[in-house]
Amino acid sequence: MTTEPRIVHADEWLAVIDKPAGLIVHAAPGHRGPTLVDALDDLLAGGGDPKRPGIVHRLDKDTSGLMLVARTEEAHRLLAEQIKARQVRRAYLALVEGHPRSRTGVIDAPLGRDYRAPERRAVGGRAARAARTHFTVLELLLEDALVEARLETGRTHQVRAHFAAIGHPLAGDPRYGHPRRHGLDRQFLHSARLGLRHPFTGQELEFRSALPPDLELALRRAQESG
């Protein structure tokens, strides 16, 4: 599995990156090894934190797919404002255990640190903040469901924690569900679509990323199970 990010789009103000699973976005306490910030080097700028220049939102280490980054200080400010105003469209593909009760829905439940396991997020946890995830079931399988999850907010572990909270953890999720499901080495979660209005040109931008091979294989196994 590659750990090199792919540049999907780049102009003088911003870039869109397809991040592979296994690559952490920026340095953090207790982490050693390469980061997305290291790999992109001087492509990134803005934000005031030398450990995470250009970073306006994050993906978990083992979540793959599209990420938006800034290349200038002004771009960082404007992109951060768009995300705060919920104007950046982010959609994920997730394989969840079981079948949600409805084909579409909204999980509206505040998330904070789990009191018993601070590395996890839990509904109503410590310092909980509002969190909303919209979802659509794309395919019902024998024991799982393929869903599109669209973020209204962007809390840490939001998709993972929200689906676990309604009894449908992500397939393969070692923290919120059952590891190794369908042979997965990570949670089945991929940032598949990203859209925004360019803060400088006004152009509507829309990007898509196909499932990487490990998730394609897990989906095929889920479809063939039973």
Q: Residues with catalytic annotation?
A: 60
The whole-angstrom separation of Cα 121 and Cα 118 is 7
| AA identity, residue 220 | R
Q: Identify the DSSP state of 166.
A: T
Give the pair of three-digit tokens for residue 151.
């973020």
Residues 6+ apart with CB under 8 A from 88: 57, 68, 79, 82, 194, 195, 196
The whole-angstrom separation of Cα 142 and Cα 16 is 35
The whole-angstrom separation of Cα 104 and Cα 115 is 30
Give which of 191, 160, 190, 188 is closest to 176, Cα–Cα. 160
The whole-angstrom separation of Cα 160 and Cα 133 is 10
Alpha helices in the chain (DSSP H): 36-40, 73-84, 158-165, 213-224
